Amino acid sequence: MKRLLIGVGVLVALAALAGEAGGTRTATGSWIGTYSLGGPGQFSLAVSGKRAFVALGVGHADLQSVPLVASGAKLRFQLPGRPSPLVFDGAVSGGRMKGTVRQGALRGTFSARAGNAPALLARGFYATSGGQTAVVDDPYGPARIVNLDSGRVRALYQAGTGFSIGSGFATRSPSTGTIRIRTGSAVIDGKSTARVGVRQLEVQFRSGSAWLSGTLLIPPGAGRHAGAVFVHGSGPTQRAYLPELTSMLVRHGVAVLVYDKRGIGQSGGSYPGESATAGTIDTLARDAQAAARFLAAQPEIDPERIGLTGHSQGGWIVPLAASREAAIRFLLVFSGPAVTVDENDLWQDLAGEGERAATLTDAQIDAQVLKAGPGGVDPIPWVRKLKIPSLWVYGGRDRHVPPGLSERRLAPLAAEPGRDITVVDFPNANHALVETTTGLTSEMLRSDTYAPGLFDRVGEWLKAKGLGR
């Protein structure tokens, strides 16, 4: 994805103040860099006196102001992390900044050149009148601005030193407004908004013999928070996965741990593959269990309110993990199949997988799938073992997971005494729970909203279960 440029003038002006600090003179200016720590990463840096303004790459920690230690050409800064901080230690020579980066036992290097701050500096949470907005990014399209109360989403496109706001997820025209980013605020359509103090920690935790890397987002506010581990869908996904949904949970007061899938990004271990075999689901469930145990041990998190939230293939992973991990106390499943793998594969093939229109109605597709019968991984035995609260959210226009069949499989269990299973369907939502009329991915790019009521409904459920605010 092409990187966007923002707020250049502000950061350059801040960095120019460094000349007054003497020791940081050689670092004066804005820098763009890459680093390697178990895998590749990006960062942007600007220096102001004895402070460094640092933002990491997509899915990692947003813009932070941290102390800078400098002497001559040498400098050091570190970002909050667990079990230890992320430390950059380097020097400036010949117009380049180079050095080492470390966190715990991991060691790597970094290199940076003078340059303007990329779009990753814009990411973060912003207070608006009566609500919150977030600027998010992922590897699959332009940066976006999302209203965390209504679910409205619009793409961002560079316009001078700011952004033009598009009219959909990845639609440039017609423009619906402008946004200019500052270090501590943003001006959205002429209205100044302050950044919300969401803490973000770069973390590492062990799952078996592998070290997995992620980012922990902690909402503002006193006391311990409920915490959720976000479990990926299929494919070699990194921590920047459906960032609007992650931000929505933080908005409702739930801390969220996102992480790179094993063998991907900065996580160690071997990638188990995309196919939902019993071995792959088992491996990924064990990673989710390890993430839940790590989250429960953090001082900002209430260990009695730890849960898993998953999307798509994650719907097979999270009930297995919860069925054998005592630390997991709730589930929040977005578009997760409650049918077997073979049934799901046939269904999405007949439904067009979001890339082509189906030639059959959903009822006809359901009938063919039922006739073919089940096969492969089946999540229902794991769901049957659970007594914890769970919310299953489906989109009626999903072309990857069968919403009707999944809801029918869950209904008898939800009706049993002693269970706490809630199933919600948004009739015009696609697999990503974006409002559409066809469910096709191409239409999603023009849509400008998640399913109306989705963010409120999740927030209401979280609050009713004592998890959100």
3-state secondary structure the chain: CCCCECCHHHHHHHHHHHHHHCCCHHHCCEEEEEEECCCEEEEEEEEECCEEEEEECCCCCCCEEEEEEEECCEEEEEECEECCCEEEEEEEECCEEEEEEEECCEEEEEEEEECCCEHHHHCEEEEECCEEEEEECCCCCCCEEEECCCCEEEEEEEECCEEEECCECCECCCCCEEEEECCCEEEECCEEEEECCCEEEEEEEEECCEEEEEEEEECCCCCCEEEEEEECCCCCCCCCCCHHHHHHHHHCCCEEEEECCCCCCCCCCCCCCCCCCHHHHHHHHHHHHHHHHHHHCCCCEEEEEEEEEEECCHHHHHHHHHHHCCCCCEEEEECCCCCCHHHHHHHHHHHCCCCCCCCCCHHHHHHHHHHHCCCCCCCHHHHHCCCCCEEEEEECCCCCCCHHHHHHHHHHHHHCCCCCEEEEEECCECCCCEECCCCCHHHHCCCCEECCCHHHHHHHHHHHCCCCC
pLDDT by position in tens, the chain (length 469):
222 223 333 343 333 333 333 445 567 778 999 999 999 999 999 888 889 999 999 999 999 999 999 888 899 999 999 999 999 999 999 889 999 999 998 999 999 998 876 577 889 999 988 789 999 998 888 999 999 999 999 999 988 778 999 999 999 999 999 998 877 788 988 889 999 999 999 999 999 999 999 999 999 999 999 999 999 999 999 999 999 999 999 999 999 999 999 999 999 999 999 999 999 999 999 999 999 999 999 999 999 999 999 999 999 999 999 999 999 999 999 999 999 999 999 999 999 999 999 999 999 999 999 999 999 999 999 999 999 999 999 999 999 999 999 999 999 999 999 999 999 999 999 999 999 999 999 999 999 999 999 999 999 999 999 999 8
CA 326 to chain centre: 25
C-alpha–C-alpha distance, residues 406 and 315, integer Å? 10
Q: b/e per residue, 445-464, with b = 16+ CB within 10 A?
A: eebbbbbeebbebbbebbee
Distance in angstroms (rounded) separating the CA atoms of residues 120 and 101: 20
Residue with tokens 């609260």: 389
pTM above 0.85, yes or no: yes
- What are the pLDDT digits (tens) for 217-255? 999 999 999 999 999 999 999 999 999 999 999 999 999
Res 117: pLDDT: 61
- The region, left, alpha or beta by phi > 0 then psi within -120 to 50, assigned to residue 352 is left
Cα–Cα distance measured from residue 215 to residue 257, given in angstroms and rounded to the nearest whole number:
6
Query: How much is the pLDDT for 9?
Result: 38
